[in-house]
Amino acid sequence: MSQKFKAHVLPNAAPVSNGNSAAMETSIRQLLANGNSKAALESAKQFHKTEHSLASEVLLLEAYKARIQTLLDQNLASEAKALIQLVQERFPARKEQLTDIGAVASARSGELSDLVQPLNDPELSAERRAAIEQILQTQLADLQALADCQALPAEHSLRQAAAALERAFQAVTSGPVSDEQIALPEVSHRSPLASWKWLIRAIAALYRGEDAACRESLTFIKAESVPARLGPAMQAILGAVTDIAALKPHERTLVSTVSLNLLDLRGALQQLDEAFIRDEDERIFKAVRNAVRECQRSAPDRLPLLKQIIDVRGGESGLDGARLIASMEGAPRRDAAYFRMYARQLETAGGDPEDLAEACEMWEAFRKAAISEGLFTGHSVELAVLYLHMAGNLAQMPAKMLREFQRDGNLNTWATDRSQGDDRYYLHPEKLYARACLIDRDSEAFSQWLNWAKGQTITEAENVAKQWHKARPGDIEPLLHLMKQAEKRNAFPSALAYLEKAERIDAVDSVVRAARWRLLTAAALRHLQQKKPHLALQKLTEMAALPQSQQGNRPGFLAAFRVLICSSLADKDAANEASREAERLLGGLTAILLIFTIATTAKRDELAAVPPPKALKDKDREAIPAAFASVLTIAKDAGIKKIGLASEYFDETQKQLPRAAGKLDLEQLRALGEIGGWAGYPKIAWAASTEGLKRPNAPEAFFLMVRARALKAEFEDRKIVLAAAAVELARFQGDAEALNKAVEFLREFSGDDTPTLTLTLEQARAVVVKESAYPDLPGFFTPVPDYSDLFPADALCQCANCRRKRGESASGPFEDIPDSFDFAEGDEDANEDQDLFPDFGFDESEMRKMFKQGLPKGTPPEMANKLFEIMKQSILTGESPEKLLAELLGPPDRGAKKQKKKLWGKK
Amino acid sequence: MNAYEILGLAANASAEEIRIAYLNKVKEWPPDRSPEKFEEIRDAYDELSDPRKRAKAMFLDTTFTAPLVSLIDSLPVRRAFTGPKLWHEVLKAK
């Protein structure tokens, strides 16, 4: 191998070997196969120079063609065309072999004359025509070149189609286009340019946001056609291709330019949100400027809303208004949306009740703007709802504060222009309700008005009810309200008149049906009280004529009542007969107690008498709880709220109940549970609830609430647990009344609408099971159930006293008890600091005071000391000290009990 | 999305516009093919077709308290017109 040859051999060119031409040829073909056309061409030139054979010439021509193709692929069409010309000059005999690739190069370079010239020949073979069209389809990227190609006549369909496509392409990539602009009737579906038509439609759909249509159009583009080259970029714009980095540089540029990037705006908005959360003024102002600028740039149609939100939030954050507006480069639009936003912000801030008045002012501004903008009219339902909403706001404000606002509130001027004589009606709930009901005579509106008025004055509520009745005579609610008010002031004829109206509307309404019985009873009682027995008898006759008079114990009640009326009429025979009837229907003791109850309610005690319980036989005394409960049930049914029975009967009921409870039905237990609660006999309530919880299908929620109310105040945690369990059980059992009571009860502890404790149904049922195991009303030394697991650990008071009340262990309660005590009068102070029951949280003086209060007056100090020793021993041995004391001393008097509660109630 | 957005309506749409929008949406999302979407559309219509409910929803709206990025979440797809040059460059490159 010569030095000259070596200098011309490219590094990758295959070395020429005189003796191994076959190997050389193989090497060149390998280079071609590997796509290394440049080295292959150089080697082929050397090979042909050496061999000068036909085979080497063929191989050289193949290498030239490969090189030309590479140049075309590199968009070097001119270089490719020059090389083709060179080869054709050097190998004129093989010119034909380069015709096709020459046409491709022409198409690529836009020099189409040679390519399309044959199309003018009507004798052109179909194959040749198809080949030219194939080249146009797969290589022509410059439509304008074809449109301008002089080799074809101006009216040639290809030139016409190319010109139309170029116009459409320019239009569709430059702005919105009409359907006519992209209809392109010049381009048939058989045209080699048909794929361009689909491309233009795809681009139009892309810009219109019709992504599905865009995708569909793309599917009609032939894969080998030039328009198909835009496929990956368009799929990326559509979001189908997420890896933008995988695209070619031109494609990436197109995708990033066409796809409007909201990332900057998104980031700016997030920063603004964070700034408001951090509540740092400088940071907020900076973020506001940035967000407004970005919004202006990439989403200008969102800018008005953004400014409004910023202004409202800025107001909440107490930002300098002028500076905020400057940061926003202008004030927000003060339209209905703005005022609504402002009002809602004031309502939901939840801080100052004054905000609610300001919110109403903003709602008034909203009303004016909304009517002006045509959101609703001045007499539309929407306006009525708005008035109710505003009134609801004011109803939440403390009355005194509201009055101050009404008098001299210094509000803004959005809503009110006093110089124009604007009425500040929007600060007066009554005016708002009246306006709402005037516009929309809806029951719900009147109901809200009446509920509000009930919290004002009786007269106001009655006036509202009368207006409601006048506006909607078919509604029963206002009549029932008026009836109840009349009943409360003993105006029974008026109450009955309202009732008659209500009965005409809905005679089967449960409230209406109960009211008739209750009102007639009340009227009869009043006549009896006024010593007008003949009138009372009339009412009683009316009652007897009612269909519901035969329900339950009502016949017995009528008989009992008749006893008193007949006695008042001095008709002894009739009275006796009625008495026998009552006893027959109710039982002897129940009848006696009921007659007495009716007599005391009518303030005619002289007409009836009951023997003291002690005068009764043992069997009758045992029946007292059942009789007592029956009387309570009958009295409740008749609307009699005061039970005039002597306290001995309560005491006796309390005494007998633990033994008799098993014989009572659920209704009787309910009655005793209720009476025990409000009459100050918690043991009655407790015993009734204990028995009630044992019964199958018992209203467990009701009995748990009975227990919750019966417990002393210091058992707060247990009260909460019981009420929380009642809430869950009432919800499960659909007991709306118990649910409402339990929720209200819990609110007393939490002070707001948030429940203090929430239990699951399983936990609530476990509470019932636990409670059933504790039949005694708890005192200080009574074992109590442990509910600590139901409370969050950090919500529990860990003082020994509270731990014990929750039922948690308080170990070693008497570890530090001194061996002897001195309870001598006057020595209390000496022992005041001594921690007698350290783990219980009680000090000695408290214990001593409590203990002494439980002793009868005049108990000698020595005896007190001895008794305390007994109590201490009883605690150590696990006995109930209360029980022990009660056995030793008898039940404490009421006054002492109250005082004790006060002393022990403190934490 | 609030009821107006679900039905593609402006906040001051009339009762007739609400009804027409509802019927169109039901055609687009029939209950047999898209039960969940249909339910959403029906709930939106229930709210908007009752003037009291519609008004209550309007007065209780708190969308302004949502993160600010929600302002652009519902923006329609936006694409910039670039002219033919960038498109041509992709077409010419192979």
* Res A768: pLDDT: 87
Q: Does B55 touch chain A (CB under 8 A)?
A: yes
Closest CA to A717 of A781, A809, A785: A785
* Res A755: pLDDT: 52
| Distance between first and last Cα of chain B | 45
Average the pLDDT over B29-54 and give the result: 89
Eight-class DSSP state of A714:
T
The more confident residue out of A293 and A656 is A293
pLDDT digit string (tens) for A429-448? Answer: 999 999 999 999 999 999 99
The more confident residue out of A874 and A587 is A587
Eight-class DSSP state of A32:
H
Letter string b/e over residues A160-174, b meaning 16 or more CB atoms within 10 A of that residue's CB: ebbbbbbbbbebbbe
* Res B94: pLDDT: 65
CA distance A785 to chain B (A): 45
Report CA-CA distances (Å) from A550 to A464, A479, A510, A624, A870: 37, 26, 16, 25, 58
pLDDT at A675 over 90: no
Eight-class DSSP state of A792:
-
Helix axis angle for A554-568 and A588-601, nearest 10°, is 60
The more confident residue out of A781 and A739 is A739
Q: Which of A229, A328, A347, A379 to mutate to test the interface with B (most CBs of B within 10 A)?
A: A229
The more confident residue out of A32 and A852 is A32
Contacts made by residues A797-803, CB under 8 angstroms, sequence distance 24+: A797/A907, A799/A841, A799/A907, A800/A838, A800/A839, A800/A840, A800/A841, A801/A840, A801/A841, A801/A842, A801/A907, A802/A717, A802/A841, A802/A907
CB A843 within 8 A of CB A857: no
- The identity of residue A655, as a single letter, is K
Average the pLDDT over A65-80 and give the result: 83
Side-chain half-sphere of A615: how many Cα atoms within 13 Å? Answer: 6
* Res A8: pLDDT: 40
Structure confidence at residue A225 as a pLDDT band (50, 70, 90) = very high
Out of A170, A251, A340, whose CB is closest to B90? A251
Letter string b/e over residues A848-881, b meaning 16 or more CB atoms within 10 A of that residue's CB: bebbbebbeeeeeeeebeebbeebbebbeeeebb
Average the pLDDT over A16-20 and give the result: 56
Tell me the C-alpha distance between A200 and B22, whole Å. 34
Out of B11, B52, B90, whose CB is closest to A250? B90
Q: Does B60 touch chain A (CB under 8 A)?
A: yes
Average the pLDDT over A647-662 and give the result: 80
* ipTM confidence score: 0.75
- The identity of residue B5, as a single letter, is E
Query: Which residue do the tokens 């309404």 mark?
Result: A509
CA distance A270 to chain B (A): 6
What is the count of residue pairs from A and B with beta carbons less than 8 Å apart?
141
pLDDT at A495 over 50: yes
Q: Fold for domain B3-93? A: Helix Hairpins (1.10.287)
pLDDT digit string (tens) for A248-283? Answer: 888 888 888 887 767 778 888 989 999 999 888 899
Q: Which of B77, B85, B89 to mutate to test the interface with A (most CBs of A within 10 A)?
A: B77
Do A306 and B82 count as a contact with CB atoms less than 8 A apart?
no
pLDDT at A874 over 70: no
Give the chain B residue nearest A343 (alpha carbons): B59
* Res A139: pLDDT: 85
Out of A269, A385, A440, whose CB is closest to B69? A269
Closest CA to A644 of A685, A607, A575, A593: A593
* Res B10: pLDDT: 77
CB A848 within 8 A of CB A811: no
Closest CA to A587 of A616, A617, A620, A615: A620
Structure confidence at residue A558 as a pLDDT band (50, 70, 90) = very high
* Res A623: pLDDT: 83
Do A381 and B52 count as a contact with CB atoms less than 8 A apart?
yes
CA distance A351 to chain B (A): 16
* Res A669: pLDDT: 87
Average the pLDDT over A358-371 and give the result: 90
Average the pLDDT over A596-602 and give the result: 88
Average the pLDDT over A317-342 and give the result: 91
Give the angle A20-A25-A27 at the CA atoms, nearest 5°: 95
Chain A residues whose beta carbon lies within 8 Å of the beta carbon of residue B83? 170, 173-174
pLDDT at A533 over 50: yes
CA distance B12 to chain A (A): 5
For A837, phi then psi, to 5°, come to: -125, 75
Could you tell me how many helices (H) and strands (E) chain A has, helices first? Answer: 46, 0
pLDDT at A450 over 90: yes
Do B59 and A389 count as a contact with CB atoms less than 8 A apart?
yes
For chain A, the average pLDDT equals 80
pLDDT at A12 over 70: no
Out of B54, B56, B82, whose CB is closest to A257? B82
Structure confidence at residue A850 as a pLDDT band (50, 70, 90) = low
Do B71 and A302 count as a contact with CB atoms less than 8 A apart?
yes
Where are chain B's structural domains?
Answer: 3-93
The more confident residue out of A317 and B1 is A317
Tell me the C-alpha distance between A206 and A812, whole Å. 82
Tell me the C-alpha distance between A176 and A502, whole Å. 69
* Res A416: pLDDT: 56
Average the pLDDT over A745-751 and give the result: 73
* Res A185: pLDDT: 92
Query: Which residue do the tokens 């030219």 mark?
Result: A132
* Res A817: pLDDT: 39
pLDDT at A843 over 90: no
Out of A173, A206, A209, whose CB is closest to B84? A173
Q: Which residues contact A69 (CB under 8 A, 6 or more apart)?
A: A37, A80, A101
* Res A829: pLDDT: 40
Give the angle A214-A220-A226 at the CA atoms, nearest 5°: 95
Report CA-CA distances (Å) from A349 to A285, A313, A412, A753, B36: 22, 11, 18, 16, 34
Average the pLDDT over A651-664 and give the result: 80
Out of A226, A348, A380, whose CB is closest to B62? A348
CA distance B29 to chain A (A): 16
Average the pLDDT over A758-783 and give the result: 82
